[in-house]
Amino acid sequence: MSAPLLEVEDLTIQYSTSEGPVTAVSNASFTVDRSEYFGLVGESGCGKSTIAKALVGGLDDNGYVESGTISLRGTEIQDFSEREWNEEVRWDDISLIPQSSMNSLDPLGRMSDQAVEIAQTHTDMTREEALDRFRELFEIVGLQPERIDEYPHQFSGGMSQRVIIALALYLDPDLIIADEPTTALDVIMQDQVFRHLDQLRDEFDTSMILITHDISLVFESCDSMAVMHAGQIAETGSVFDLYDEPRHPYSILLQESFPDVSDPERELGTIDGTPPQLFGDVSECSFADRCPWAVEECTASEPPLEPIDGNPDHRGACFRRDEVHELYERDRTPSPAGGDGA
């Protein structure tokens, strides 16, 4: 059996801070296959961008992979040098549309020169071929092709986002990571960007990791997904698994807090409390303080991400994953005597 395009296993990422190491990602595991759209969802600060940056070797200077592996087609890449990331991974294998695109373009270079440099590092395209290709991409993302010679500051915020998307698509990478790709765009443009990304999958078999806080967007546009909470992957599986049968309390409550197109009348839920910041080694379920069904066991160790109902593709990190659906149904059904149903 051939290795998946991307396999992340037990990945722990920390940031050094003056208060000690902060664990931004703890023991995360997931895979993305060829032409698969994978959604990574969770509240602000749960570690989504940290994972995105780690997958292109672009962690902030104080960030590091503490343990675990990132494998691209079976080759471990987490310990690559800057040169290896540049020559062997970025742009032609994995490209990132970063969350804050504004700072990711070199302000001193014309866009055309930046594109030619990328093309010449990774391909044997001539300068003219590289420029033609970049003009094509400008058209695809709705920018006038003659603007390729402009400097980053000449583009508005939304246009810079599209320039970044053009660069990310430039060398037909196998995997595009789109970190909140549409936050800087208006609704019409958001729609257009998603159509471009879909076209890519049809044309080039491209895979995507779509990062967002919006679980309904993931249900609509992805094949599989992971729900993160405070650095831990709470649940992962196909979008059908997580939509029809979420088994982690956080996935259930997160789903309830977003409108459902198939049930517009449903009342939206809220999730009380805030996620903890995790210092050093993680030794409990990160959702324990907020979970309606927490028991003593939940703070004694970190729940491992384990198969649900024997399905290796649907995994949950909850000690009570086999009973949580029942607990949820019990608690949402008012008791006949008008009690609290508990």
Ligand X SMILES: Nc1ncnc2c1ncn2[C@@H]1O[C@H](COP(=O)(O)OP(=O)(O)OP(=O)(O)O)[C@@H](O)[C@H]1O
Q: Which residues of the shown chain bind ligand SF4 in the complex (CB under 6 A)?
A: 248-249, 285, 287-288, 291, 293-294, 298, 303, 318-320
The residue of the chain with the least Cβ separation from Mg ion equals: 49
Q: Binding ligand X by CB under 6 A: which of 2, 44, 270, 333?
A: 44
Q: Is-contact 150 110, C-beta < 8 A?
A: yes
Residue closer to ligand SF4 (CB basis): 298 or 305: 298
Nearest-angstrom CA–CA distance, 17 and 24 = 12
Residue closer to ligand SF4 (CB basis): 264 or 273: 273
Residue closer to ligand SF4 (CB basis): 155 or 287: 287
Nearest-angstrom CA–CA distance, 163 and 128 = 19
Residue closer to ligand SF4 (CB basis): 273 or 339: 273
What is the helix, strand, coil percentage profile of the chain, to 5? 35, 25, 40
Strand 175-179 vs strand 207-212: parallel, antiparallel, or unpaired? parallel
Q: Which does 278 bind (CB under 5 to 8 A by kind): ligand X, ligand SF4, Mg ion, none?
A: none
Q: Which does 140 bind (CB under 5 to 8 A by kind): ligand X, Mg ion, ligand SF4, none?
A: none
Which ranges of 205-307 would DSSP assign to H, the alpha helix? Answer: 215-221, 239-244, 249-256
Tokens describing residue 101: 């695109």
39 forms beta bridges with 210, 225
Contact segment (CB under 6 A) with ligand X among 38-46, 199-207, 232-240, 288-296 equals: 38-46
Residue 49 interacts with Mg ion (CB under 5 A)? Answer: yes
Contact segment (CB under 6 A) with ligand X among 43-51, 82-90, 202-210, 244-252 equals: 43-51
Write the single-letter amino acid at 245.
E
In angstroms, give the least distance from the CB of 97 to ligand X. 13
In angstroms, give the least distance from the CB of 320 to ligand SF4. 4
Nearest-angstrom CA–CA distance, 101 and 147 = 18
Give the phi and the psi of residue 174 in degrees, each rounded to 5: -75, -30
Residue 46 interacts with ligand X (CB under 6 A)? Answer: yes
In angstroms, give the least distance from the CB of 54 to ligand X. 9
Q: Which does 28 bind (CB under 5 to 8 A by kind): Mg ion, ligand X, ligand SF4, none?
A: none
Residue 47 interacts with ligand X (CB under 6 A)? Answer: yes
What b/e readout covers 1-27, taking b as 16+ CB neighbours within 10 angstroms?
A: eeebbbbbbebbbbbeeeeebbbbbbb
Residue closer to ligand X (CB basis): 48 or 135: 48
Residues 134, 135, 138, 144: is their CA dihedral positive or negative? positive
Q: Binding ligand X by CB under 6 A: which of 35, 86, 238, 277?
A: 277
In angstroms, give the least distance from the CB of 222 to ligand X. 17
